[in-house]
Amino acid sequence: MRTIDTPSTSEPAKTGVELLRDPSLNKGTAFTYEERRRLGLVGLLPPHVLTQEEQAGRVMANLRARGSELGKYIEMADLLNRNETLFYRVVMDHIDEIMPIIYTPVVGAACQQYGRIFRRSRGLWISRREKGMIRDVLRNWPHRDVRVVVVTDGERILGLGDLGADGMGIPVGKLSLYTACAGVDPTTTLPVTLDVGTENRALLEDPLYLGMREPRLRGREYDELVDEFVGAVREVFPGALLQFEDFANHNAFRLLEKYRRTDRVFNDDIQGTAAVTLAGLYAAARVTGSPFSSGRILFHGAGEAAIGIGNLVVSAMVAEGMSPEEAMGRCWFMDSKGLVESSRRDLQEHKRPYAHAHAPIGGLAEAIRELRPSALIGVSGQGGGFTEEAVAEMSRVNARPIVFALSNPTANAECTAEQAYSWSQGRAVFASGSPFAPVVFDGRTFLPGQANNAYIFPGVGLGVVASGARRVTDEMFFAAAKTLAGLVGEDDLAAGRLFPPLTKIRSVSAEIAAAVAEVAYRRGLSTQGEPRDLAAAIRALQYQPVYKSYL
C-alpha cells in the first residue's frame, strides 16, 4: 500500500520493489527502460517493454482461458492487487463481459469461498475489539482524500444470507464499479466490513474463516459500534459519502433513517434498487403504452429492496399529481406468509404502511387473479418464485405484462428470461437483476435488460462528490431514475431491453451525476459553487485508466 500521496510532479512516491508492489503506482512490464533506470527497476522486470494495450490483450487471453467463473474472478482480483490502472483499463474496455465476473453474479460465489481464495487485504475490517479506537483504525488507511466509503456488516450478502466477514467481496466489488462505471478515482474509495460476528454455523466451524468466531452483536452494543464508525468517518474523512450495503432488513431501514438527515449516507439495496427499478418502469411504459401509475404493482417480496422500490414509486406517482394515499394503494406486497393486508398482526414496521384492506391470499397466482396488477416485481431472493401459472396469469390480464425478476445472484432469480418470454408467449416486458443471454422465441430474438444497480449508484456517488452535497436525498434518486429512463433508445426497447447497453455506462453515469448535482445545487445542499458548465466539470473529474509517465 502507498504510504504517502503521489507528488504533483511526475516522480512517484516509491522506487524499486516497493513501487512494483503498490497497485496504484505499478505499471508492470509497461515501465520504459528510461523509467526503470530512474526508479531502480532495472533487472526487476523482464527486459521487453509492453504497451498497455498489449498487457490488456494478455489479460483477456488468460481470462478467457480460465475454465471457471470463480477462476476468472480470482484472475481479476489478482490483477487489481498488482496493477489498478491496467485492471480498470480491462474492465472499462470489456464492461459487459467483465462486470458479471467482478460483481454479481460471480461475486456471490467469491464471498462464499472468501477464506479459501483470499490473497491480499483490500479495505478495512472493524470488529468489537476496535470499539473506542475506530478513528485510529480509519487513520491506518494510506489515503487521506477518501470520497466514497462502502460498508457492510455481512448479514445479508446478495440473496445468500449471513456471510460475516467474508462479505468483504461486496464493498470491494461495489467500489470497483464506482471507478469503472462512473470514473471515481480508486484512490479516493474505501471498502469496510464491520465484523460483528456471524450466525452462520458453517463459517464458525470453518478453519479457514477469516472473521470473528462469535455470535453477531445485537442491540445496544451493535448500535454503539455502528454509531462510533459513522462518527469516525465523519471526522477522519469529512467529505466522504457513506454507502450502506447488504445489511439485514431489521438494521437497514433504521440505520438509514437514523443517519440520512445528519450524514452523507444512502443504502443501495433500498434506494439504488428502487431507482433502477423505477427507471425500468418508466421505460416499460413506453412499450405498454400506459403509464405504470395507471395500474397496480405487485411485489413478490417485502424486504428492504421491495419497500424501497415501493416508496420511490409512490414518490414518483405523487410527483405526477396523485395523492399519497392513492399512490400507496396501487402498491401491493406478498411476503413469505402471503398477501400483506390489514388483518395481519405479524407485520414488521416497514410493511405496515402497505397493509391494505383485503381478504387473505396465500399464493402468487391467486393474488394476480384478484388484484390484476400491470407489473409483477420479484425481490424475494427466492429462485423460481414466478411459476408458469403466475406469468400466464399476468399475460391473461395484460396485453404486455411487466415482469421483473430482480433477485440475484442468478440462482435466486424468480424466473429466467427464457421462462418469462415463453410462458407469456413473447409478450412479457422483462428485466432481471442478473444477466441473461439473448432469448429466441417464435422467430424473434429478445435482449433481456438487466436492472443492475450499477446504472444508478456510481452516477449518484459521482454527483454527490462533484457537488459536495451534504445529504443524499430521495429526490436525487428520483432524478437518477428519470435520467436513466430517458437514455433508453427506441432501438433498445424494440430489442426488449429496458436499459441502455452497458457499453454506454460511463456516459450514462456522467448524465446521472449531473442530474444529482443539479438537485444538490437547487436545494442548497452543495458545499461548493456551481460550475458554469456542470457536464464538463463532471467529465473532468472522471478517472482515466492511463499510465503516467515518470520521466
Q: Which residues are catalytic?
A: 103, 174
Query: For 266, which DSSP code?
Result: E
Q: What is the Cα–Cα distance from 30 to 47, expressed in whole angstroms?
A: 10
State the SS3 of 359-412. Answer: CCCCCHHHHHHHHCCCEEEECCCCCCCCCHHHHHHHHHHCCCCEEEECCCCHHH
Among candidates 113, 125, 109, 103, which has minimal Cα distance to 174? 103
Which distant-in-sequence residues (6+ apart) come within 8 Å of 21 by Cβ?
A: 82
Helices (H), 106-246: 106-112, 114-117, 134-139, 169-177, 201-204, 219-236
> Taking the mean position of all CA atoms in its chain, how far away is CA 297?
23
Residues β-bridged to residue 431: 404, 449
Which distant-in-sequence residues (6+ apart) come within 8 Å of 532 by Cβ?
A: none
Which distant-in-sequence residues (6+ apart) come within 8 Å of 267 by Cβ?
A: 243, 244, 245, 247, 252, 255, 256, 304, 308
DSSP 516-547: HHHHHHHTT--SSPPPSSHHHHHHHHS----P
Please give the grid coordinates belonging to residue 109: 460465489
Q: Regarding beta strands 375-378 and 148-152, do their DSSP bridges make them parallel or antiparallel, or are they unpaired?
A: unpaired
Residues β-bridged to residue 357: none
Long-range CB pairs of 3-11 (<8 Å, 24+ gap) are 3/142, 5/143, 5/144, 5/145, 10/548, 10/549, 10/550, 10/551, 11/550
| Start-to-end C-alpha separation, the chain | 22
Q: Contact 273/309 with Cβ under 8 angstroms? A: yes
Phi, psi of 446 (to 5 degrees): -105, 140
Q: Contact 211/164 with Cβ under 8 angstroms? A: yes
From the number of C-beta atoms within 10 Å of its C-beta (0-12, 13-18, 19+), residue 119 rates as exposed
CB atoms within 10 A of CB 64: 10
Q: Contact 193/167 with Cβ under 8 angstroms? A: yes
ω into 23 cis (within 30 of 0):
no
Please give the grid coordinates belonging to residue 67: 475454465
Among candidates 408, 416, 177, 97, which has minimal Cα distance to 273? 408
Helices (H), 94-133: 95-102, 106-112, 114-117
